[in-house]
């Protein structure tokens, strides 16, 4: 626990928290606006910040069209939820009722801890690259001296059980549904909680089964290593991403994650059309806001998981950093360097490009999820059961057997 | 025709009996045992029951709408920064109601009344009560006064229209001999208080469009003077 490590950890934490919370806010806007564009509408555009302008006849005229294409709606939503009365109904189980929203929001936040969003990097060399371009050479020397040439991870917690941690933390989210529904002492809430539980036993099984094929291919549950292993290129042009090895499981696992997030088409625990608001019917103000926030943060988290497992994590095909220990161990004939299709580039360019590539992939995935949410009708209760147990579980098992056979044959 | 002891027509069976009668042939398949529950036969092919191809085709459709509209919005944006954008350029079929009116909103639609003005901004109305007499909803209330100009003779001291009673038939404008009352296309006749739904003379005369745009008042929106 030396000082540079703590600094890197704090910066990582700031990045991840800032990213998730902002994505949670932004996605409420994206959800409305994208849904509107998909339905030939204009979408949220009324929230404005009034700007005083001088009026023609003297005095002040308030300009009310500064709406920033509806971006302020996320802000007004947050303000509204904070300012509303936090009403606790008299018939609820106070302790469980109050603790349930945290079971929703904490798993959503901690899951991202093990997701590598930029891979191994050398902060000393990277910062001196950046500062050298600006011309602050003395500052560059100071920072290089502080960090040295040591390699750190752009990942909050480099756990060697990363994938298992994702499953463990993600499955905790169902406690929020069950506890909130039960503690609310309301028929709609209890129905929502029951549905959440039954939905959980539908998706949780094939969720685990579907990812086993990928584990057979990679042979590890370390997220950092899985990410590094996707940095290679086969036959000169096919990136060795998870989706290339397991194209069917890509869709199956995405289905499972979307079911875990309890959004349309898997929104039976909430089911506005049937259960008012499902398991959080009795919640108000920011407690209800925490459920909503968890849901939107989870979209970004799901995208992060999918990207780091199936879409090459932070990798850009053909771009390698000097710190990619796995890649250089695979290619002993090459000398380690920061390369872009063979050409040498500064370390900072590679790392910043990687973080950007990760963010772009995540944003595209969020777009895909919201597209799905606005396209598909809600599944019925029994349909999810049938889909999970009769369609997706057999597919996952067959896929696992085939993958294992192929891997065994190739080794 | 026979009647049972309750006086009911036995030729016309009760609901309980009707359930036992043979049901008309239905294409679907009947579940054994109960006549009134049936299942639609599943007409999905094996490929469709896999869900995924059908979902992907659905996503393709919505995504094509999304990208089509986004392309349209991009064109609109480049026209907008050069100041040549119109409502039709937007990638949406909806509009910024009520800031913007639909272009196909009929200009002869019968909506909010106005009182036309003379050169000196006095009302054209000569308080002849013709409109009030013609009004089938009895919603026009006029108090006449003597005009200083003997050529005009009378003018309305008060001219109130209970707009919430009005049925927008347009008889008042037909009846008026001096073209003093007209119906405009505006239909934004809303308020939070019933008392303010009585439009007085001043409001009916304050229809000057430039004036209301300056104060950012929506068409037909009554200035909120008192609460
Ligand atoms: S439009 Fe018809 S109902 Fe309305 S004030 Fe005129 S005459 Fe009366
Ligand atoms: S009919 Fe015309 S002139 Fe006569 S009272 Fe009505 S608005 Fe005035």
Q: CB of B60 within 8 Å of any CB in chain A?
A: no
Burial of B4 (0-12, 13-18, 19+ CB in 10 A): exposed
Q: Is residue B118 part of a domain?
A: yes
B114 Cβ inside 6 Å of ligand 2: no
Q: Structurally, how many domains does chain B consist of? A: 2
| CA dihedral sign of residues A67, A71, A75, A80 | positive
Q: Model confidence at B220, in pLDDT bands (50, 70, 90)?
A: very low
pLDDT at B145: 92
Give yes or no: residues B79 and B176 share one domain: no
Nearest to A40 among B49, B58, B69 (CB): B69
Contacts with A33 (C-beta within 8 Å, 6 or more apart), sequence order: A43, A44, A69, A70
Q: Is residue B75 part of a domain?
A: yes
Q: Which residues of chain A make contact with B92, given a CB cutoff of 8 A?
A: 36-37, 40-42
Residue A319 has pLDDT above 80, yes or no: yes
B130 Cβ inside 6 Å of ligand 2: yes
Question: Average pLDDT of A228-235?
Answer: 82
Q: Is residue B24 part of a domain?
A: no
Nearest CA in chain B to A65: B99
Residue B223 has pLDDT above 90, yes or no: no
Q: Is residue B22 part of a domain?
A: no
Domain range list for chain A: 91-410
Q: Quote the pTM value.
A: 0.76
Residue B14 has pLDDT above 70, yes or no: no
Which ligand is closest to the CA of B175, given by its number?
2
Which ligand is closest to the CA of B163, given by its number?
1
Q: Is residue B33 part of a domain?
A: no
Residue A392 has pLDDT above 70, yes or no: yes
pLDDT tens digits along A244-258: 888 888 888 888 888
Which of B57, B89, B121 delimits the end of a domain? B89
| CA dihedral sign of residues A318, A319, A320, A326 | negative
Mean pLDDT computed over every residue of chain B:
76
Q: Could you tell me the CA-to-CA distances from A193 to A104, A185, A201, A354, B45 in Å, in that order?
A: 13, 11, 13, 41, 34
pLDDT at B211: 42
- Ligand 1 binding pocket mutation candidate from B114, B125, B165, B172 (most atoms within 8 A of CB): B172
CA A306 to mean position of chain CA atoms: 8
Tell me the residues of chain A between 19 and 48 that have a Cβ less than 8 Å away from chain B.
34, 36-42, 45
Range(s) of the domain holding residue B132: 113-221
Residue B209 has pLDDT above 50, yes or no: no
- Quote the minimal CA–CA distance from B94 to chain A in Å: 5
Q: CB of B50 within 8 Å of any CB in chain A?
A: yes
B205 Cβ inside 6 Å of ligand 2: no
Q: Is residue B35 part of a domain?
A: no
Residue B217 has pLDDT above 70, yes or no: no
Question: Average pLDDT of A310-339?
Answer: 82
Question: Average pLDDT of B34-45?
Answer: 58
Mutate to test the interface with B, among A32, A33, A40 (most CBs of B within 10 A): A40
């Amino acid at each position: 626990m030396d000082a540079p490590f703590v600094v890197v950890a704090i910066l990582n934490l700031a990045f991840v928290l800032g990213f998730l919370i902002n994505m949670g806010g932004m996605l409420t806007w994206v959800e409305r606006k994208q849904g509107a564009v998909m339905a030939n509408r204009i979408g949220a555009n009324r929230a404005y910040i009034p700007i005083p302008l001088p009026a023609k006849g003297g005095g002040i005229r308030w300009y009310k069209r500064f709406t920033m294409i509806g971006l302020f709606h996320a802000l007004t939503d947050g303000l509204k939820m904070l300012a509303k009365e936090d009403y606790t109904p008299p018939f609820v189980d106070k302790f469980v009722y109050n603790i349930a929203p945290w079971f929703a929001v904490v798993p959503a936040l901690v899951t991202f801890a093990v997701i590598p969003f930029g891979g191994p990097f050398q902060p000393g060399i990277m910062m001196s690259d950046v500062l050298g371009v600006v011309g602050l050479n003395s500052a560059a020397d100071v920072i290089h001296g502080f960090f040295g040439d040591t390699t750190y991870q752009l990942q909050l917690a480099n756990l060697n059980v990363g994938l298992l941690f994702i499953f463990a933390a993600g499955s905790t989210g169902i406690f929020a549904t069950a506890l909130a529904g039960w503690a609310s002492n309301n028929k709609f809430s209890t129905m929502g909680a029951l549905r959440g539980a039954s939905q959980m036993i539908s998706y949780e099984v094939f969720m685990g089964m579907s990812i086993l094929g990928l584990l057979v291919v990679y042979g590890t549950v370390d997220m950092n290593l899985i990410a590094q292993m996707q940095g290679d290129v086969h036959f000169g042009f096919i990136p060795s991403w998870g989706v290339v090895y397991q194209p069917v499981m890509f869709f199956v696992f995405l289905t499972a994650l979307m079911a875990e997030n309890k959004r349309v088409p898997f929104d039976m625990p909430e089911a506005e059309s049937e259960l008012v608001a499902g398991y959080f019917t009795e919640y108000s103000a920011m407690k209800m806001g925490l459920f909503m926030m968890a849901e939107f943060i989870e979209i970004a988290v799901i995208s992060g998981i999918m990207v780091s497992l199936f879409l090459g994590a932070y990798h850009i095909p053909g771009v390698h950093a000097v710190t990619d220990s796995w890649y250089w161990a695979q290619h002993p004939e090459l000398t380690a360097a920061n390369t872009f299709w063979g050409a040498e580039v500064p370390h900072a360019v590679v790392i910043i490009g990687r973080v950007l590539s990760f963010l772009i992939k995540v944003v595209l995935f969020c777009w895909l999820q919201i597209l799905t949410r606005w396209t598909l009708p809600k599944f019925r209760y029994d349909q999810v059961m049938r889909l999970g147990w009769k369609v997706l579980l057999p597919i996952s098992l067959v896929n696992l057997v085939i993958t294992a056979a192929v891997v065994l044959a190739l080794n | 025709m026979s009647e049972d002891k309750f006086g009911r027509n036995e030729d016309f069976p009760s609901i309980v009996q009707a359930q036992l009668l043979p049901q008309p042939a239905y294409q679907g398949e009947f579940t054994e045992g109960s006549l009134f529950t049936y299942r639609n036969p599943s007409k999905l092919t094996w490929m469709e029951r896999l869900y995924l191809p059908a979902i992907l085709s659905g996503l393709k459709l919505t995504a094509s709408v999304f990208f089509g509209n986004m392309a349209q919005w991009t064109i609109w944006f480049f026209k907008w920064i050069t100041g040549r954008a119109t409502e039709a350029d937007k990638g949406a079929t909806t509009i910024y109601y009520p800031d913007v009116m639909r272009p196909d909103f009929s200009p002869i639609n019968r909506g909010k009344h106005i009182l036309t003005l003379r050169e000196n901004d006095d009302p054209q109305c000569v308080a002849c009560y013709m409109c009030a007499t013609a009004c089938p909803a009895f919603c026009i209330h006029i108090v006449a006064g003597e005009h200083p100009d003997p050529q005009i003779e009378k003018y309305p001291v008060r001219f109130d229209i209970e707009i919430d009673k009005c049925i927008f038939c347009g008889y008042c404008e037909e009846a008026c001999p001096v073209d003093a009352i007209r119906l405009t296309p505006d239909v934004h006749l809303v308020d939070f208080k019933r008392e303010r739904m009585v439009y007085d003379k001043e409001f009916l005369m304050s229809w000057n469009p430039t004036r209301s745009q300056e104060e950012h008042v929506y068409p037909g929106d009554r200035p909120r003077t008192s609460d």
